[in-house]
Chain A
């Protein structure tokens, strides 16, 4: 992968940077690109509490913060910015106020690429609210200073609505790093991926199939209108 000036990741929850995207992040840092991660909330209202359960509603935020820091360490993300918003409430905040926070960081780190969810295709309301705010922030910059926006579209109908992905990253070379980052989110990973782990352990064929899916990550370039 080509070295970028700086990559800015804009996500609302710990684990958004890892599930489905950790390979791309690892490729960037491996290429020597500095990466800044904006994490909007601490996923305080997640329903996954570990498997078996080890977190509770009140202990979860601190646990997820630590997990996020571990994932950042695995991925080589040296600059983590927490916005202190609250899980599930991002869409009810003033988008311009949220954009202010993102804009300040964009002006500071001057990213050439901004990675977030693809607006309106993030499924989780927090995903769509934060990507919307990121677009507002980017639009405030003079055209020549704007980073390119790479969006993850995770809706089922994404390809019908916005077409095939513009960017496909083969993350084979950093698959171990990707899995390490995903597993760092222990409270979430074990609930969400325990079946996948069981299948991988069961047969080499199943492992091959699962790893094949994990080896490719997709992004769509979001066109920023004037």
Chain B
């Protein structure tokens, strides 16, 4: 430490030039910067945990997806055998897989669009109202956001219950069962997902709008631009970084919805009509002990989300963010 401090003082000493104040400001290397092992020491706990509980399981997931791994192998009754792409062949040859994959993508896309639209619209709304209604909307949204997925799911199922729920009463639907039909069940889950995920978008975008200089918006509205035009031509471009973040987050969350589908449609709906990849993998692995097939589905999910991540990284990089 003493060596460091003397080194520090050296450049600060007035030079022979006689103009110490105008000397080019060369930032002395901070003592923390030149310390071989310290950063790795700080990183150690994080790296150990991530290595053991994230990287290694990913490797294992890939491995199991290439093995024959069912209850017999798990209990040690039979030796595990290498199946190559056999599991994937089985999976890709199963029409149910493609159906579930399509449902997952469409359902996630619908959730993302609904969440982004609602979140952005309400964020704009928040900027045009006085403090009291704003507080009311903020508080309601925070409440929905804070609600655990499982309680949110049970409450929404109860709201739409054919016998005791208030929604059917108000809408005059009699004993219409929302979870019976495929599309009405997906719609119900979508409503719940929208309810608990729009607040994140709303709050984040609202924070972003507040950071836009007022003069810019004022100038636009004085020039006679419509609300929609202001949003499209002025606000949306300035909010681009934030919009990218919330879009990607929503894609990731909605693509791997598990609890809502599992609880609201009772494990994937009648005859699996409401399965999404996540629940499908879970059912394959833990309900029917086909761990290798479940793992193969997991790998498919991983690959899709990594592709999304790469797109995200490119977008972030293109904006020149320094890491």
Our verdict on whether A and B bind, yes or no, reads no
Measured CB to CB, the residues of B under 8 A from A are: none
Measured CB to CB, the residues of A under 8 A from B are: none
